[in-house]
Amino acid sequence: MDVARARRHIDAMTKAAPISWTRRSALGLTLGGMSTLTLRPALADWPDVIDERWMLHDPTSALVVDHEDWTQFLRRYLQLDNNGVALVRYDEVSDADRGQLRDYIARLSALDFAGLNRSEQLAAWINLYNAATVEVILQDYPVESIRDITDGLLSFGPWGRDVVTVDGQDLSLDDIEHGILRQIWQDPRIHFVVNCASIGCPNLGHSAYEGRDIDERMDRATHVYINNRRGADLDLQGRLIVSSLFDWYDDDFGRNEDEIIDYISGYAVEPLTGLMAGITEIEDYRYDWALNDASGMARPDARHKGSESYTPEAQAEAGVVLDDGASADSERPARGSDTIDPDDFLDMN
């Protein structure tokens, strides 16, 4: 590993990049006899499933899980900003809706997952992860970043905290994402449907995921993110800048940089397709850990605080479209996905 890449991995750790369950990685951390924590999975060595019970399923099951409460919550409190980022109005969540959210999480936690088919399982685990993440934010709100929610000196955010109990087993967000979702389905699109409550993260969907169209929804979520500047963009020198997701979990997307670029290109549409023509390498990775908050805390002077992606200098370089509709780089061609019409959002993810 070269020095620049090693620094990116160390930076990922300090920015609360989720710790994976893989046993092999290019970088690890050993502390006083503790087992090594690693940052990245490997395509040929996906994280170990945390319990074999989660592998059980019923391919003949016609049971359908009801996610209407989660859909109603999202429709009530989710909004799209001028950058194509789905924001949550955390400060407006009523006590009644907070109670309904908790009840929904409890109902999902009580499911007999082994009695569901794979599609229903996948949708339920994704929704459980996303709803539990919102609840974690609400418990500590107001915060500027999910990274601010920690459980001690060695904690890099709340991902290792037990948030639900399913079939008698306490599970953290890391358990659900890395030990269940990524391990069982081994589908890189997982990264685009689980939401870490951050600006740089793929959007929360406008409604709950459902088993009947989960594959289509995952494709659409991947498409939306990659074609937004958070996913992939070119700087003013024509160099490819992509989300740090493609760095932290690079082996999920390909065995080398060429295959990662191919993966991104496979979901790109114009104008990104044309911008990427002839691109053969990734110049840099960026991620914004500011909270996906629709309140005043989420405005540019606060929302992007501490983010290497959205400092004023980086905004000017990247041509970020600001919330008032003005571009930080008036010379830069507009990217349609950065100014998504809110009505179109319902059809996109």
Q: What is the mean pLDDT of residues 120-132?
A: 98
DSSP-derived 3-state class of residue 163? strand
Q: What is the mean pLDDT of residues 120-140?
A: 98
79 vs 6 pLDDT, higher one: 79
Distance from CA of residue 241 to its chain's centroid? 17
Distance from CA of residue 166 to its chain's centroid? 22
User: pLDDT by residue (tens digit) across 170-216?
Assistant: 999 999 999 999 999 999 999 999 999 999 999 999 999 999 999 99
Q: Across the chain, what does the average pLDDT equal?
A: 79
User: pLDDT by residue (tens digit) across 50-85?
Assistant: 788 999 999 999 999 999 999 999 999 999 999 999
User: pLDDT by residue (tens digit) across 259-310?
Assistant: 999 999 999 999 999 999 999 999 999 999 999 999 955 444 333 332 333 2
The pair of three-digit structure tokens given for residue 321, joined into one six-digit string = 């479209």
Dist CA 225 CA 202 (whole Å): 6
Dist CA 193 CA 147 (whole Å): 20
Instruction: Determine how many CB atoms are found less than 10 A away from the CB of residue 311.
Output: 13
User: pLDDT by residue (tens digit) across 308-329?
Assistant: 332 333 333 333 332 223 333 3
DSSP-derived 3-state class of residue 298? helix
251 — pLDDT class (breaks 50, 70, 90): very high
Dist CA 133 CA 126 (whole Å): 11
- According to the model, what pLDDT value does residue 327 have? 31
139 — pLDDT class (breaks 50, 70, 90): very high
The pair of three-digit structure tokens given for residue 156, joined into one six-digit string = 């890099």
**pLDDT of 119 above 70:** yes
Count Cβ atoms within 10 A of the Cβ of residue 225 and give its class: 0-12 exposed, 13-18 middle, 19 or more buried: buried
For the chain, give every domain's residue range. 48-211, 226-345
**pLDDT of 37 above 80:** no
Dist CA 60 CA 202 (whole Å): 32
CB 124 within 8 A of CB 115: no
Q: 76, 83, 89, 79: which is closest to 340 by C-alpha?
A: 83
Lowest pLDDT segment from 32-36, 45-49, 107-111, 272-276: 32-36
Written as one letter, the residue type at 255 is: R
Dist CA 90 CA 78 (whole Å): 9
- According to the model, what pLDDT value does residue 317 have? 35
**pLDDT of 27 above 60:** no
46 — pLDDT class (breaks 50, 70, 90): low
- According to the model, what pLDDT value does residue 49 have? 65
CB 247 within 8 A of CB 152: no
Dist CA 303 CA 300 (whole Å): 5
